Amino acid sequence: MKFAVCLANFGTYADPRQSLRVAQAAEASGWDGFFVWDHLAFVWGPPSADPWVTLAAVAAQTEALTLGTALTPLPRRRPQVVALQAASLAALNEGGRVVFGAGLGGNEKEFTRFGEDPDPRRRARLLDDGLRLVRELWPGPIWVGGNSAPALRRASRWDGWIPNSVGRDGMAMTPAELARGVATIARGAGFDVACNGYSSPHDSELVAEYEQAGATWWLENLHDRRFDLDGVLARVSAGPAR
């Protein structure tokens, strides 16, 4: 099991310098990766930061973290631009790797505010077409998010799965539910399952249950609703629940 911080890109973290502080604390405290959400939060509330700019700042100031997005709604992105951003980030992140986490996008306002089609079927086609183009242009890992049957089928064609395993305040997927998803995907060694979660540094037994269910990564979700900045830094500095 590997462990990563998975940080919001809005509110406090609309300032990439604050995200960098969290990433540096993560590296110093033994976390393996640093992932960033990808929301246009300003359309429904708080200011937000571009995740690729944030990740570039982190890559320039850390040495060995795996970096990525969790998740980018690819249907509202130009896939050729995403591939260029991922490749550029990978070149900058010399000591680690880059993961592109992708999904349909769950906030309709992030589409409709700019005249884009929020229809799920249309977004699904754009996602599949976009993923194929990203892979054509960039050879790095692609993880796909979502819990629906189509999302599981889609994830099985790529390099990893990010289940929607957390709610607003805690876990929303049991280890048994995760195991059923892993069994449905039916991929073997080398396929990553990145479980989003909430843990304290002392929750090693909880994390172990998800590892036994098939998780290969634990993504610790951190945001303003959970902790203020000092609380986030304290949680990260306390290290993963190994």
Question: For residues 219 and 159, what is the distance between their CA atoms, to the nearest angstrom?
Answer: 16
In a domain? residue 98: yes
In a domain? residue 140: yes
In a domain? residue 242: no
In a domain? residue 91: yes
Range of the domain at 84: 2-237
Q: What is the CATH number of the domain that holds 140?
A: 3.20.20.30
On whether the pTM is more than 0.75, the answer is: yes
Count of structural domains, the chain: 1
In a domain? residue 89: yes
- pLDDT by 10s per residue, the chain, length 242: 999 999 999 999 999 999 999 999 999 999 999 999 999 999 999 999 999 999 999 999 999 999 999 999 999 999 999 999 999 999 999 989 999 999 999 899 999 999 998 999 999 999 999 999 999 999 999 999 999 999 999 999 999 999 999 998 799 999 999 999 999 999 989 999 999 999 999 999 999 999 999 999 999 999 999 999 999 999 999 999 99
